[in-house]
Amino acid sequence: MEPVMWGPSIIGYGKYEYTYASGHSGEANWAGFSPRKTAHTIYFSLEEDRKEELLTKLGKHRVSKACLYINKLADIDEEILKQIIKESMDFVEKHYPTTR
């Protein structure tokens, strides 16, 4: 996929449409990251049990509900990061059929 800028700082690949139970809807990138000054931010979605399992193997990081923050790539296992991104894309494709 070709990278696309989502605003001034997010680099995204693909897109999908979502609608929450509240009725809020929109578009988001299928996979994306932001190389910020304080930390590299990777946007992801995983089932909670899988999220916990992979993040324990990743290395030094911080996490919020849908963001993974990495200060230095040398602090993490890049193969685990690749797996997180791949499984996140699979998760989005499964839960949001309008993924492109």
pLDDT score recorded for residue 40: 96
What is the pLDDT, as a whole number, of residue 18?
86
Q: Which two tokens stand for residue 19?
A: 């609608």
The proportion of the chain whose per-residue pLDDT surpasses 90, expressed as a percent, equals 79
Written as six digits, the tokens of 99 are 């993924």
Considering the entire predicted model, what is its pTM? Answer: 0.88
Give the pLDDT score at 99.
63
Domain limits of the chain? 3-95
pLDDT along the chain (100 residues), means of 10: 94 90 92 94 94 96 95 96 96 82
Asked if 84 and 43 count as a contact pair (C-beta separation under 8 A), the reply is no
Residues 33-57: tens digit of each pLDDT = 999 999 999 999 999 999 999 999 9
For the chain, give the longest Cα–Cα distance. Answer: 41
What's the confidence (pLDDT) of residue 95?
Answer: 87
Q: Which residues, including other chains, have CB under 8 Å from residue 39's CB and lie 6 or more apart? A: 62, 69, 70, 71
